Each structure stands twice: as C-alpha cells, then as structure tokens.
Amino acid sequence: MTHRWIVTALGKDRPGIVAGVTRVLYDRGCNLEDSAMTRLEGEFAIMLIFSSPASQTEARMRAAFVPLERRLGLVVHLKALSRQETTVHKRGRPYTISVYGSDRPGIVFRVADVLARAGANVTDVHTHRSAGKAPSLYLMLLEVELPPRVSVPGLEGRLQRLGKSMSVRVNLHASDASIL
Amino acid sequence: MSVLSIRRLPDPLLHQPTRLIQHIDEPVRRLIDQMISTMRRHPRCVGLAAPQVGSDLRIAVVDTSGHPKAAKSRGLLVLVNPAIDAAEGMALQREGCLSIPDFTADVRRAKRVHLRAFDASGTLFDCWLEGFEAIVAQHELDHLDGTLFLDRVANLATDVFKRKSYL
C-alpha cells in the first residue's frame, strides 16, 4: 500500500535545488504527482505531492531530507496525507480574475475576502509587483471555482465596487479551457 | 521628428476612453507624425495608440510590414476615429505592449475584422484586416477604449507570462 505526502522546501535560490529534492524521492522509489516550484525574488519555493512505497515509513522519509537541508540550506516540511485528504473536492465553475493597479496595502486581502464571503474557492494565485522606478504596478491573477449558488453578476458587481474603492482594475472571465 | 515618451501602467491615462477628432488640424498632424516616429523607434513595436503617449484623441498607428507573423500587411495604417464594425473567427496570439513592459499574454481575438477609419488626410476608408494585422488593430482599438490586454486574460495557467526579453 502506498503512502501519499506533501513536501514543501524553502531556501535561498541556487542551482541544484530541484535536482536535490527530486533525487531524494527517486532514490526511494517515490512517484511525483502535482507540484508547484518557483522562484520568489531571491528564494526558491517547492510544493510537491508524491506517493511512496509502503517500505518508506514517516521516520525514514523525514530522515531522507536532513542531509539535503544541510547541503542546500533548505527548510523542508513533510506532511503525510490521509486518505480523506486525497479525495478530490467537487469542482465549481472555473473563473479567472485579474486585478491590477498602483501597488498599495490590502489588494490581495480585500479581493480574497470578497471571494471568501461569496463562497468562491480560490485555487491558484499569482502576484507580481514591478520593481524599480515608482509608482510600482501590482498585478494579481487568481483562478477561482464558483459553486452553483454563487451569482456571477452579483460577484462581479462586488468586485467592481471594490476595484473602484481601491483604484485597481478588476476583471472576471469564465476560464477558457479550449486553446483553438 | 521627436519621439514621445511612453506611458506605462499604472498610469491612469491608459484607462481613459478617447474622444473623437472633429478636424485634422496642424496639432493633430504633428501628433500623428510623432506617433509614427515613436512606433518606429521601438524595433518590435507594430502599433501605437494615442493614450500610450499621453493623448486622449482617438488615433492609432499600425505598421506590420516585414513582421514575420504578418502573412499579409497593408503597411503603415493611420487610424483616425477608427471603429471595427464586424468581426469573424477566433485567434490566439501572444501579445506584448510598450505600456506593460513586464508581461506578455495569450489573448483571444477575432481572426478577421472590418475596420472603418479616417486616414491622415481625413479621407474615410474601410477594409477587412486578417491575421496578425487584425490582431494588432484590435489591440490598438482597445487602447482607444481604455482597455489593455491584461483586461482580457481568461486563463491563468496558460495565458500570462513574465516577459523574458526586454523592449
């Protein structure tokens, strides 16, 4: 019987991090599933779901990452996933939201708050702040799933009012699955 | 001929709708010439709209001649008070914009558009544009309505990319 895990790793960016983490998994006969790995300013961040053969106990898996932490200067967190955590939740309708404007405190929080109150589930977020000469531009892109009871025009109206109050542009589009 | 400086996000002028030109006078002709020079000054730029250079007039310039993506090109197009009154098909194209230097995005637009506009001498013309040229025209007309390609992103996973080479 296999086990499933999620591992996160954070560390100052440098070559060798992805190879280092995935080697630990490969050497133990593990299978990589979903992951998101990205550089955020000077840090590299990994979030990775994998399954391992039954022979890999929790203690063994944790021990496997210790040399890596030392060698690459990483902080690694391993969490065993229970059977319940691996069930896929019923999906709502996918929408993409873009928000952009002059950077100011509260953009991410206030948008996320409107979405949470509406019952929308945020599944993916990317933000970017342009560096260099002022004024800086803040861009946020979110993918959300809307349960059937959520009124899209109602949500759009709330987001537009929020956008006006914060001087940011907000757009909501049904996510386009087809490419051409 | 002078080159104008480009307004970049978050400049609010990029979201202002433009106003129709009543008469193509000397200041308007000078703006058109400056916009053409500015477009030519940026090697990969194929179009420019007046809000990008700080003007609220409804003018855009397009020139896709010699561009590898333009199978057909009408060369330099000066568009005064332009409008698209018919659109057909769908095309997906990676777009960039001088006003949004950090990003490119895949944007869905019409494959063919019917365009009406006045040219630099004030003569009304209309034509069908297709392919890359049609996309550029739609991008520039969006600018004249205060719309940017970031407003049209519909798919996060595939659509928005941090720019790898700089303008």
pLDDT digits (tens, 9 = 90+) for B78-89: 999 999 999 999
Helix (H, G, I), strand (E, B) or coil at B7: coil
The CA-CA-CA angle for residues A106, A47, A58, to 5°, reads 130
Share of chain B above pLDDT 90, in %: 75
Rounded Cα–Cα distance for residues A142 and A125 (Å): 4
Interface test with B, best of A171, A172, A178, A180 (most B CBs within 10 A): A171
pLDDT at B136: 97
| Confidence at B130, pLDDT banded by 50, 70, 90 | very high
- Tens of pLDDT, residues A26-44: 999 999 999 999 998 899 9
Rounded Cα–Cα distance for residues A35 and B29 (Å): 55
pLDDT at A16: 96
The yes-or-no answer to whether A3-86 and A93-174 have a common fold is yes
User: Which value, in Å, is the radius of gyration of the alpha carbons in chain B?
Assistant: 15
| Confidence at B153, pLDDT banded by 50, 70, 90 | confident
- Tens of pLDDT, residues A122-175: 999 988 887 666 678 888 999 999 999 999 999 999 999 999 999 999 999 888
Encoded tokens for A156: 């759009």
| DSSP code per residue over B44-94 | T--EEEGGGGT--BSEEEEE-TT-TT-SS---EEEEEEEEEEEEES-EEEE
| DSSP code per residue over chain A | --EEEEEEEEEE--TTHHHHHHHHHHHTT-EEEEEEEEEETTEEEEEEEEEE-TT--HHHHHHHHHHHHHHHTEEEEEEEEPTGGGSPPPP-EEEEEEEEEE--TTHHHHHHHHHHHHT-EEEEEEEEE--SSSSPEEEEEEEEEE-TTS-HHHHHHHHHHHHHHHTEEEEEEE------
Task: Name residue B142's beta-bridge partners.
Answer: none
pLDDT at B167: 46
Rounded Cα–Cα distance for residues A114 and A162 (Å): 8
Helix (H, G, I), strand (E, B) or coil at B42: coil
Encoded tokens for B24: 């193509």
Look at B158 and A124 and tell me if their CB atoms are within 8 Å: no
Look at A173 and B153 and tell me if their CB atoms are within 8 Å: yes
Reply yes or no on whether the pLDDT at B165 is more than 70: no
pLDDT at A178: 47
Question: What is the CATH superfamily name and number for domain B12-162?
Answer: Peptide deformylase (3.90.45.10)
Domain ranges for chain B = 12-162
Residues in chain B with CB shorter than 8 Å from the CB of A126 are 156, 160
Size of interface A-B (CB pairs under 8 A): 59
Domain ranges for chain A = 3-86, 93-174
Q: Provide CB contacts within 8 A for A36, sequence distance 6+.
A: A46, A47, A48
Element (H, E) at B37: helix B26-41
Residues in chain A with CB shorter than 8 Å from the CB of B108 are 176
pLDDT at A11: 97
Reply yes or no on whether the pLDDT at B160 is more than 70: no
Of residues B97 and B157, more confidently modeled: B97
pLDDT at A2: 78
Catalytic positions of B are 140
Would you call A40 an interface residue with chain B, using a CB distance cutoff of 8 Å? no
| Confidence at B22, pLDDT banded by 50, 70, 90 | very high
Of residues B44 and B147, more confidently modeled: B147
Q: How many residues does chain A have?
A: 180
Rounded Cα–Cα distance for residues B164 and A163 (Å): 29
Would you call B166 an interface residue with chain A, using a CB distance cutoff of 8 Å? no
Would you call A124 an interface residue with chain B, using a CB distance cutoff of 8 Å? yes
Angle between helices A58-72 and A17-27 (to 10 degrees): 150
**CATH entry, A3-86, from 3.30.70.260, 3.40.50.9100, 3.40.640.10, 3.40.50.2300:** 3.30.70.260
Look at A128 and B108 and tell me if their CB atoms are within 8 Å: no
Class of domain A93-174: alpha beta
